[in-house]
Structure 1
Amino acid sequence: MDITLVQGDITTQEVDAVVNAANSSLLGGAGVDGAIHGRGGPEILEECRRLRASSHRGGLPTGQAVATTAGRLPARWVIHTVGPVYAPGEDRSALLASCHRESLRVADELGARTVAFPAISTGIFGWPMADAARIALETVSAAETSVVEVRFVLFDATAYGTFNDLIMKFARKS
């Protein structure tokens, strides 16, 4: 699998599946979640409401993933995953890793070959960028998946630089 980095807007990525850093309600929010729902249009929200009325009545648990249409995005699907809120006194890194593994599992079920991820939990959920990047890159690198390209789409130069520094360290180790 190829792991690539892009600085930009995840809602413009032409991939099979875009991963949404969702909130547990699945009904939209701020940050990446708001951007995906806003640009993707009402089709995404309609499917999320159907999920809430059926299989996810209590919302989507942290670390899990579920797919919907991508609506008006240039992708086929949105894979929604709920990242953990960072808590300095509690190790929640397994939940953050689960977001990436579960998203790739759902991608495999869909037959997605290319998947774009944001930096999950690094916005309002407060996860330090360097630690989130390490967990994301380690988890995706170790995953058994049919996905051929994982693209991390980083919104700003700081996030891109952090992921790039770490991916370069991984490249030197191999």
Structure 2
Amino acid sequence: MATIEAVLGDITTQAVDAIVNAANSALLGGGGVDGAIHAAAGPRLLAECRELRRTSLPDGLPVGEAVATGAGDLAARWVIHTVGPNRHRGETDPDLLASCFRRSLQVARAVGASSVAFPAVSAGIYGWDPADVARIAVAAVRAELRDQGAAGGIELVRFVLFSHQALTDFEAALAP
């Protein structure tokens, strides 16, 4: 079974195969985690995102879906972009949020990643309570790892949190 952990830190510095970007549907950078990842990754990440928009995602990435790009100058090999639901826009369905975590792990597995770092998707500017995100994220990751079985390839899932409160919320969700 894969290891699931929570740490306080900067997701852009994680030495994992893939980091998950809490992106907006445009995939062209933004604020919060998205802006930090784009800034740290450098111009190659934006170029790959622009190419996705030009080709396979002309209308942007839908909420709850995920797509991978290279990671530019980051330590990770891939960035998996997922669009969380925006509570301020009435996107309050927990299944949409859970889908971000499940689809990101499915995409990670498809590109061959064995270690993945997640932020608290939708817990920032998108208005979700970090405790709710923690509960939904941990349940979704556990379910996806269980469903993938031993042959799934994901060995480590790390939640990289931006605040002590978010870390506390994720630690509580991870407790047996």
In the alignment, what sits opposite 1:154? Answer: 161
Give per-residue Cα distances to partners, 1:12-62, cap 9 Å, x unaligned.
000000000000000000000000000000000000000000000000000
CA contact (8 A) 2:44 2:72 kept: yes
Distance 2:93 2:153 in 1: 27
In the alignment, what sits opposite 1:74? Answer: 75
Distance 1:118 1:38 in 2: 16
Structure 2 counterparts to residues 12-161 of structure 1, below 5 A: 12-86=13-87, 91-143=92-144, 144=148, 145-161=152-168
TM-score, normalised on structure 1?
0.94
Distance 2:58 2:134 in 1: 31
SS in 2 for 1:67: strand
Counting matched residue pairs gives 169
Distance 1:84 1:7, change over 3 A: same
Query: Mind listing any 5+ residue stretches in structure 1 that lack a counterpart?
Result: none
Displaced runs of 4 or more, over 3 A: 87-91
TM-score, normalised on structure 2?
0.93
